[in-house]
Amino acid sequence: MKLLICDPTAPDAIAKMRAAGIEVDVRDDISADELMKVIPEYHGMVVRSRTKVRQPLIDVARNLKLIVRGGVGLDNIDVDYARSKGITVMNTPAASSISVAELTIGYLFALARRIPDATASMRAGKWEKKALSKGTELTGKTLGLIGCGRIGQQVVKRAAALGMTVLFYRRTKVNVPNATQVSLDELLTKSDYISLHVPHTPETHHIIGAPEFAKMKDGVYIVNCGRGGTLDETALYDAIVSGKVAGAALDVFEDEKEDRGKKLFTLPQVIGSPHIGAGTREARARVGEEVAEKVIAFYQENF
């Protein structure tokens, strides 16, 4: 089996796959044009979020049997089309859950206590104690989670430990300790903080938009460490300007190639990061380990 590593992958995982007898080529900075040229010779490919696997690439990948996405989302892969061509598509949904959950909790603290503002003020040589001593505690506040899968449930554990009341909306009924499942409308009207943890699909596109903001409490905070496109960024901008939303923290954006929420970042109430939710040493190691296990199992069953 010949495997192409298209995005950065843990060296230990690469070594493990090679030890299992797989021919592994590492091209973790390969361009889209070059990938189109070389993919026909490979049986498998490993990608993260950078590499897009769309229909034109799949059409020329005549020997491709396996695509493994190191991470949770599969929105950078035309999954149904690949599977229609007999290609197996896998991901590593559990490996980065803790890292994304911890970033979410970190953003709750940052919004509640205006930590980025305080840091910027100190760097500017200021001592604005009075102005920056108007934060709030998370204890006793209500956190609403839109989506409550692996990552959401890790957020629940940590938020409950902080003394927050946790509500969650999910289409399917599920029992989550320390959290209460409610309708979307109830979550919107009762939450002090709202965090998105759903994949981006046609059903979840702009699941939070202008009508949803209108139902929220005045002074609500929004966090999105899930997927870009689930949050209507234009509606969020308007809600912050109007005062409905007190602040927002974003790790993902609807157009991460070009726009990246640039208009939102003209507002001082918005903080964010460049899609680093899974960007920890521990998550990278777990992702690599899970990728290796899935590739080796596929190799042993099919070659």
Cβ neighbors of 83 (< 8 A, separation 6 or more) are 89
Pairing of strands 180-181, 165-169: parallel
Q: How many CB atoms lie within 10 A of CB 32?
A: 13
Q: How far apart are CA 90 and CA 33, in angstroms?
A: 24
Rounded to the nearest 10 degrees, how much is the dihedral formed by the CA atoms of 44, 48, 51, 56? 50
The residue from 113, 150, 275, 289 that is catalytic is 275
Q: How far apart are CA 275 and CA 273, in angstroms?
A: 6
Instruction: Tell me if residue 113 is catalytic.
Output: no
Q: What is the separation of C-alpha 82 from the centre of its chain, rounded to a whole number of angstroms?
A: 23
Q: How far apart are CA 22 and CA 16, in angstroms?
A: 9
Q: How far apart are CA 263 and CA 275, in angstroms?
A: 17
The residue from 227, 260, 284, 286 that is catalytic is 227
Closest-CA residue to 62 (of 87, 81, 83, 79): 87
List the 44-47 sheet strands across, edge first: 23-26, 2-5, 44-47, 66-69, 88-91
Instruction: Tell me if residue 275 is catalytic.
Output: yes
What SS3 class is residue 216? coil
Instruction: Tell me if residue 114 is catalytic.
Output: no
The residue from 186, 256, 289, 293 that is catalytic is 256
- Distance of CA 264 to CAs 6, 107, 116, 206, Å? 32, 16, 16, 16
For the annotated catalytic residues, the residue numbers are 227, 256, 275
